[in-house]
């Protein structure tokens, strides 16, 4: 299977060395290169590669910060001089993690793993699934049950959690609605999804509005008439034996 690859590497020598090794693999077509995350986003959107060789340490933003910008997420092979990032690389479902200097045999092994992978397609979460939250600064792993509610903020969503501070994540509200289990999570309006099981209290306000508080004491939100009615119905439905 022919694969279209993008090399994201800020060092010219390392980039050309990898390009040279890949000449022995005609199944890999190098369609572009980038020296930083900003260039990588532009190249990805223009070229739509299905494989990225991704350096971790680059100026301004590291390689992990690129992942939330990619839709759909292609196969990723990390390339770095530091083995300290290995665990984090596999947490984000990378194909492989190559240490510099790369050997021809080690590269061949990484490429062989591509053929054994199933196509990457986001599947809906179960309520107790681990969820990877990517921000510009970190990757955090939580359970879906840890999410109390999600609020849209332009191209991002702010994910509120029971035991952590909120996290600003680049994932659209439409994606969250598709991924989160509808039995537990209810989209009450265009900008808010609520975990029905995380609702602690619904306090009536004038004009049929309501204030909603959540387990863990992590803040509250105010809903207008129709969203508060939807939430009450949703909470009532899960309360029925």
Query: Which pLDDT score, from 0 to 100, does residue 92 have?
Result: 72
pLDDT of 60 reads: 85
pLDDT recorded at residue 224: 96
The whole-number pLDDT of residue 210 equals 94
pLDDT band at residue 156, thresholds of 50, 70 and 90? confident
49 has pLDDT over 80: yes
> Mean pLDDT for the chain?
86
Token pair listed for 82: 């530091």
Domains 3-114 and 130-239 share a fold: no
- The pLDDT assigned to 127 comes to 55
Residue spans per domain, the chain: 3-114, 130-239
Q: How far apart are CA 55 and CA 174, in angstroms?
A: 30
* Of 187, 197, 177, 198, nearest in space to 223 by CA: 187
Q: What is the CATH number of domain 3-114?
A: 3.40.50.2300
Judge residue 213's burial from the number of C-beta atoms within 10 Å of its C-beta, 0-12 exposed, 13-18 middle, 19 or more buried: middle
pLDDT tens profile 65-76: 888 788 778 899
CATH class of 130-239: mainly beta
Asked if residue 241 has pLDDT above 70, the reply is no
What is the Cα–Cα distance from 176 to 173, expressed in whole angstroms? Answer: 5
């Amino acid at each position: 299977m022919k694969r279209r690859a993008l090399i994201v590497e800020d060092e010219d020598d390392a980039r050309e060395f990898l390009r040279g090794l890949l000449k022995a693999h005609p199944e890999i077509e190098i369609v572009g290169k980038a020296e930083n995350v900003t260039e990588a986003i532009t190249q990805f959107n223009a070229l739509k590669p299905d494989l990225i060789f991704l350096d971790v340490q680059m100026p301004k933003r590291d390689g992990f910060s690129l992942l939330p910008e990619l839709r759909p997420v292609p196969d990723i092979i990390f390339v770095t001089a530091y083995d300290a990032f290995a665990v984090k690389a596999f947490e984000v479902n990378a194909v492989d993690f190559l240490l510099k200097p790369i050997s021809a045999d080690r590269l061949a092994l990484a490429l062989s793993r591509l053929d054994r992978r199933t196509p990457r397609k986001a599947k809906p979460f179960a309520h107790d699934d681990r969820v990877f939250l990517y921000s510009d600064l970190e990757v955090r792993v939580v359970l879906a049950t840890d999410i109390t509610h999600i609020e849209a903020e332009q191209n991002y969503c702010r994910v509120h959690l029971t035991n952590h501070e909120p996290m600003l994540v680049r994932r659209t509200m439409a994606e969250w609605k598709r991924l989160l289990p509808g039995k537990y999570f209810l989209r009450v309006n265009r900008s808010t999804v609520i975990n029905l099981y995380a609702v602690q209290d619904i306090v009536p306000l004038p004009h049929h509005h309501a204030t909603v508080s959540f387990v863990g004491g992590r803040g509250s939100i105010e809903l207008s008439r129709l969203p508060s009615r939807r939430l009450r119905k949703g909470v009532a439905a899960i309360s029925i034996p």
